[in-house]
Amino acid sequence: MKKLFFFLSFLPVSFCNAQTISLQECVETGIKNHPDIQNRILTLESSQADVEQAKSLRYPQMSASINQGTNIGRSIDRFTNTYINQLYNSTYAGVSLNMPVFQFFRIKNQINQAESMKESQILNVEIAKNDLTARIVKAYLEVLAGKELLDIAERQVATSTAQMERISKQVDAGTVGKPQLLQIRSQLGNDQLAFIDSKNAYKALRLALFQVLNAKPDDNVVFEAINSNIEDRKALQGVYENALNSLPQLKAANFEINSFDYRVKAIKAQNLPRLGFGADYGTFYASSNPEGTFFEQLNSTRSGSFSLGVNIPIFGRLQTKPAIHTATVGKKLAQNRLETTKLLMRQDVELAVQAFQAAKDRYEVAQQQVAINKENLEAVELQINAGTLNTIEYILAKTNYDRANSTIVQAKYQYLLQKKLLDFFDSGNWSL
C-alpha cells in the first residue's frame, strides 16, 4: 500500500483549495482573454468609426477665422482703391459656411457601404467566438476524458496492489507458488507505469486547455464534469441547409458583397453634378485709414454673401473608372470567398456527420465490451479466490477489462464532441 500512496501523491490537483470551473465559465474566460477575439473587436470599433466618418460628410463645414497682417511697400488701399506706399497693419475676421445640398446619393451610398462593413465585422466577431468556443469545448472534453482515464489507472494500481497482497499471503502460507507472485508484481509495475503516463497526459491536456483560454495554469482548478448522458440524434439530414441559415459566415459574406455594391454607386455618383450652398460673413480693419478707429472700421466694413452653386465634372469618368474597376474586382473576390465558405462549410458538415456516426458506433461497441469484460473479470476473480485459476488468466482478464474501460471513456467524449458539433451546425448555438 505504501507504493500506492506514493503514486497517488503525484495527483496534479490539490483538492484542499480546489476551485471548480464549468465549461460555460471556460468559454467566457477564453472570449474575454484571447487576443483573436480582441483583434476582431478592435476591427469592429474601426468599422464603427468609418460609419461615423461617412455620416459626418452630411454635416455643413463652418469655420471662423481672424487674420492679422502687415503690408510693406506698394499696395492698394482697399478704402480709397488707390496705390499707397506705406507700412500699415490690417485685421480680418470672418465666418464661412459650406454645406452639400445634393450629390446624387453619393454620401448616402458611402454611409450604406460603411454600415454593411460594420454588420459584416459584427458577424466576424461572432465567427471568431464560435471558432474559439469549438477549440475550448474540444480541449475541455479532452481534459475530462484524461481525468477519467487517470482515475481508471488509479483503480488499476489499487486492484493490482490488493491482488499482490492477497497472493503474498498465499505464498507465505505455501498455497501458491512464487512465480504467481512475480507475475502479479510485474502486472503492478505495468499498472504503475500506465498511471504515470495517464498522469502526464492529463497534465498536458490541462495545460493545453489553459493555453486556449490564455490563462495562467493553476493546479488548484478542477474542471466541472458535464452531463454524459448522450441522447441520440435521429435526424442527420438537412444539417448543411440548417448551417447555411444559422451560422454567421454566409451573412457576413453577403454584407461584404453589399458593401462593394454601395461603393460602386458612391463612386459613380462622383461623375454627376453636385449642388452646394456657401455663405460668408466678415469685417476688416486697416491702419492706413485714418478716418475711423479700430471698432468703427470693423462696424462699417461688415459684409456677407451666400451662394448656391453647381459643380459639373467634365472628365470625372476618366478619374473614377479605375476606382470602379477596383471595387468591381473586390466584389468578385468577396463572391468567390462566399462560394469558398459554402464549400468549406459543406465539407465540415459532411465530415462531422461521418465522424458522429463513427463515434456513435464505436461508443455502442465499447459499451458492450465493457459489460462483457466486466462479467468475465468477476468470474475470474471468483475462480482465483477459490484457488482454481492461475494468475495469468486473471492478468489477461484484468488487462482486457482495463482496455475496455479506457476505450469507452475515449469513445464517450468523442461522441459528445461530435454531437455538440452537429447541434451547433443545426442551431448556430453551442450547448454548454
Q: Write the DSSP string, 185-212.
A: HHHHHHHHHHHHHHHHHHHHHHHHHHHH
pLDDT greater than 60 at residue 405: yes
Residue 5's pLDDT is: 41
CB within 8 A of 91, min separation 6: which ones?
66, 67, 68, 69, 284, 285, 286, 294, 298
pLDDT, position 137: 94
Query: Where are any strands of DSSP class E within 249-367?
Result: 274-286, 303-311
- pLDDT greater at residue 392 or residue 7: 392
Burial of 378 (C-beta count, 10 Å sphere; 0-12/13-18/19+): exposed
* pLDDT for res 235: 62
Strand partners, 223: 21
Please state the rounded mean pLDDT for residues 199-223. 93
Residue 69: pLDDT over 80: yes
Q: Which of residues 136 and 61 earns the better pLDDT score?
A: 136
Q: Residue 388: what pLDDT?
A: 64
Q: Which pLDDT score, from 0 to 100, does residue 196 have?
A: 94
User: What pLDDT, on the 0 to 100 scale, is given for residue 389?
Assistant: 60
What pLDDT, on the 0 to 100 scale, is given for residue 14?
A: 39
Mean pLDDT of 54-65: 88
Q: Name the least confident of 77-81, 92-96, 201-205, 399-403.
A: 77-81
Residues 318, 320: Cα–Cα separation, whole Å: 6
Higher-scoring residue by pLDDT: 179, 62: 62
SS3 96: strand
For position 52, what pLDDT does the model report? 92
288 pLDDT band, cuts 50/70/90, is confident
Percent of the chain with pLDDT over 70: 91
**pLDDT (tens digit per residue) in 3-28:** 444 444 444 443 446 789 999 999 99
Mean pLDDT of 254-260: 94
Domains of the chain: 2-62+104-274+318-427 (1.20.1600.10)
Highest mean pLDDT among 167-176, 285-294, 375-384, 401-410: 401-410
Please state, rounded to an integer, the average pLDDT across all residues of the chain.
85
CB 94 within 8 A of CB 279: no
For range 390-419, the mean pLDDT: 85
Q: Tens digit of pLDDT for each residue in 156-183? A: 888 888 878 877 877 777 766 777 778 7
Residue 41 has pLDDT above 90, yes or no: yes
Query: Where residue 2 falls among pLDDT bands split at 50, 70, 90?
Result: very low
Asked whether the predicted pLDDT for residue 130 surpasses 90, the reply is: yes
User: In the chain, pLDDT over 90 holds for what percent of residues?
Assistant: 41
Maximum Cα–Cα distance across the chain: 138
Average pLDDT over residues 300-329: 87
Q: Can you give the pLDDT at residue 17? A: 62
* Amino acid 9: pLDDT: 45
Contact 312, 381 (CB under 8 A): no
Residue 391: the pLDDT is 67
| Across 312-325, average pLDDT | 86
* Alpha carbon distance 319, 271 (integer Å): 9
